[in-house]
Amino acid sequence: MPAGSLLGALLVTQLADRIGRKKTIILAGMVWVIGSILQCASVNRAMLVVGRVIAGVSVGLSSAVVPIYQSEITAPSIRGRMVSLQQWSITWGILIQYFIQFGCSYIDGAASFRIPWGLQMIPAIILSLGMTMFPESPRYLFDQGFEQEALQVLADLHGNGDKSNELVVLEYEEIKQQVYFERTEGAKSYLDLLKPGNPRRVMLGCCLQMWSQLSGMNVMMYYIIYVFQGAGLTGTRSNLIADSVQYVLNVVFTIPAIIYIDKWGRRPMLLFGTCAMGFWLCLVGGLQGRFGHWGDIDGKPIWLVSDNDAATKAIIVCSYLFVCSFAISMGPVSWTYPAELYSLKIRGKAVSLATATNWLFNTALAWAVPPGLANVAWKTYFVFAAFNFAACLHVFFMYPETVGRTLEEVEEIFQQGHVFSAWKIDKNVGKKTLQDVVGKSKPTEERHESLDEKSSA
């Protein structure tokens, strides 16, 4: 499935710019339904694999285009909070599907797996139908020449329908200037991502999604049953119940991030999260290394902590705290930050490339983690801890703060340079007022004419 998601994320580069953000999301829901039908009705492994790949394409499409859409329809003051809702929705999806599958595990026969794969069509249908009532991205509309429609959408979103609202005018003018500039200077192909000013931002977005996967969160979610098994938690049912706490904590601790992401800022959350996750992973690895030994469960070798209730509980608690640290930091920020980095003309291509990086490393981990746990055992946790500490250094030196800025103001930050000194960037760099954009002495209509003349020239 992650391999299909990689393909879907790359497809967004064409779809989001050609048919629009809204239609791409609707299409993603329809593709998911097709994949779900094939999975639910599968009669052999080949049919199941095809269904999984198709469903993965849908996930890749939606995971790349939804942050773009959210960032383009949201006021700067709450943009991080709104984009973070995607991560919260993901945690709810994980929690709900876990308990559905937990309940279906008591059902005998093929229904135990066909029911969950059939039920997953419901949210996709709601998504596709619900999006028909949503507006298209104003930035996409403006770029396609529908300027009045873009202004009306901005007025509906930010000004209760008032086109003269200050925030509406500010956003409209900035979008207009940006679009006029990018029509002559903007990206026409992937090679344009290599133009001056773009490579750094493209790499920042891709690296953040890479660090998100290398944080070890998937180890603690996909393979948590093996983690707790190795920690000495015996009994399948007790293990599954303990696992469910992970998913509940993931949902609960994403809430503070949603509420405060636009107050705390992106950098502090990333710095805290990467340090905390590295710390908890070191404790898990240290406890397993100190109190564990090679054992045997169901005929398979496993690094096992046995007859040490204190060590078992400590490992479980550290695993819970690791999940809490991810949920309150890297989880929401890894989706919010890339959607804020790029200019309009490269945003579709660049965000999809960042999301594709996420799925690329997700696919790689699916192959690497099981052999890692089977061969190097507790040392696996130290590998991911090292990744977290490396990510912390990367964020400190190279990731500037974007909180509270419009997408056009973020442009100004990267024009200032500061390649290896992101912590020095003043919070007012790139900040603009309505007067800065419209002009202190020119009314809006006159400013429009001036911009039109410059564009023609």
Question: For residues 191 and 308, what is the distance between their CA atoms, to the nearest angstrom?
Answer: 57
Q: Which amino acid is at 212?
A: S
Of 327, 328, 336, 368, whose CA–CA distance to 355 is shortest?
Answer: 336
Q: What is the pLDDT of residue 420?
A: 63
What is d(CA 151, CA 163) in angstroms, rounded to the nearest whole number?
A: 7
User: Distance between CA 39 and CA 43 in Å, rounded?
Assistant: 9
- Listed in sequence order, the DSSP H helices in 253-378 are 254-264, 266-291, 309-327, 330-341, 344-375
Q: Which pair of tokens denotes residue 439?
A: 């002009």
Contact 281, 382 (CB under 8 A): yes
Provide the token pair at 56: 């993965």
Taking residue 205's Cβ as centre, other Cβ atoms within 10 Å add up to: 24
**How far, in Å, CA of 58 to CA of 6, rounded?**
10
How far is Cα 172 from Cα 8, in angstroms, rounded to an integer? 31
Q: Domain boundaries in the chain?
A: 2-134+186-409, 138-185+428-457
Where does 2-134+186-409 sit in CATH, by number? 1.20.1250.20
Stated length of the chain: 457
Euclidean distance between CA atoms 342 and 9, whole angstroms: 16
Dist CA 218 CA 73 (whole Å): 30
What single string gives the DSSP state of each residue in 422-439? Answer: GGG--TTTT---HHHHH-
CA distance 28 to 278: 35
> Do residues 270 and 336 lie in contact, with contact meaning Cβ atoms separated by under 8 Å?
no
pLDDT at 429: 56
List Cβ neighbours of 432 (8 Å cut-off, separation of 6 or more). 170, 174, 406, 408, 409, 412
Q: Give dist(CA 280, CA 321) in Å, integer.
A: 7
Residue 276: what pLDDT? 96
What span, in angstroms and rounded, lies between the C-alpha atoms of 249 and 271?
Answer: 21
pLDDT in tens, the chain (457 residues): 888 988 888 887 778 888 999 999 999 999 999 999 999 999 999 999 999 999 999 998 998 888 888 878 887 777 777 777 877 888 898 889 888 988 898 898 889 989 999 999 999 999 999 999 999 999 889 888 888 998 999 999 888 888 888 888 888 888 888 777 767 766 567 777 887 778 888 899 999 999 999 999 988 888 888 888 888 877 666 677 888 888 899 899 989 888 888 888 889 999 999 999 999 999 999 999 999 888 877 777 788 888 888 999 999 999 999 999 999 999 888 888 887 888 767 776 787 788 889 889 988 888 888 888 888 888 999 999 999 999 999 999 888 888 877 777 787 777 776 566 776 676 555 555 545 545 543 444 444 444 444 444 4
Distance CA 126, CA 109 (A): 29
